[in-house]
Chains A and B, each alone.
Chain A
Amino acid sequence: AQSVTQLGSHVSVSEGALVLLRCNYSSSVPPYLFWYVQYPNQGLQLLLKYTTGATLVKGINGFEAEFKKSETSFHLTKPSAHMSDAAEYFCAVSVRSQGNLIFGKGTKLSVKP
């Protein structure tokens, strides 16, 4: 079975600072990894995903994540936070031919002016 752990339910950064949201996964087979973002009163929206190939994945709005198999991690980063980045971020895992996503508990990102 797969699982996801997101370290830190709430992260606060200043505008212009580095954003780092942590995600560790557990899977007995090669995983597929996703980051979704949820703005208030909206549905989840895909930021980026890793399936195969390049381990550094670039997504929308300047976010990127790196798949590190040795560390079972898929941390999300953005060099410079913007006020509009304030939202809740979810890491999720699935595996080949499994149509279900297993989500972490989420990390709420606050951006201070």
Chain B
Amino acid sequence: EAGVVQSPRYKIIEKKQPVAFWCNPISGHNTLYWYRQNLGQGPELLIRYENEEAVDDSQLPKDRFSAERLKGVDSTLKIQPAELGDSAVYLCASSFIQGGDSGANVLTFGAGSRLTVL
């Protein structure tokens, strides 16, 4: 079974340029997460989807960041325009939540997309 697939793995852009990251979750997983991991820090949630619905986007900087999850499967995270402080690894994760307790579910992470803004 393929894991969570992210692309591109690495991206270098100049500030004020746009950038987009793509994520393909594990087949059948209904919940998808985007996290940002700054150097020397733990991952921080940007947005969480349950199927097509963004159920938590409270930490997403909406002035420059946008995300979508088409048909409840793949997802794209976009930054426009990028700033120097956006340099980080962007992690996508997925899980399957079936009623019950979403707090106990296990996330499967992709390898991440490393963004460098010059």
Contact = CB atoms under 8 A, between A and B. Distances in A.
Do the two chains bind?
yes
Interface in A82-107: 90, 92, 94-101, 103-106
Interface string B79-118: 0000000000001010101000111111111111000000
Interface stretch (B14-22, B42-50, B63-71): B42-50
B103 A43 contact: no
Given A43-B110, A106-B41, A98 B3 contact: no
- For chain B, give the interface size range: 20 to 34
B55 to A, nearest CB: 7
A100 B112 CA distance: 18
Contacts of A94: 103-104
Interface string A19-56: 00000000000001010100001111110010100000
Nearest to A30: B103
A14 interface: no
Contact of B31 (A41, A51, A98, A99): A99
Contact of A43 (B4, B102, B105): B4
B102 A97 contact: yes
Contacts of A9: 40
A49 B106 contact: yes
Interface in B2-30: 3-4
Which residue, of B41, B43, B48, B97, has the highest number of chain A Cβ atoms within 10 A? B43
Contacts of B110: 43
Contacts of A49: 104, 106
Given A32-B103, A94-B103, A103-B44, 8 more contacts: A34-B106, A43-B108, A44-B43, A44-B93, A90-B43, A100-B45, A104-B42, A106-B40
Interface of A: 4, 9, 32, 34, 36, 41-46, 49, 51, 90, 92, 94-101, 103-106
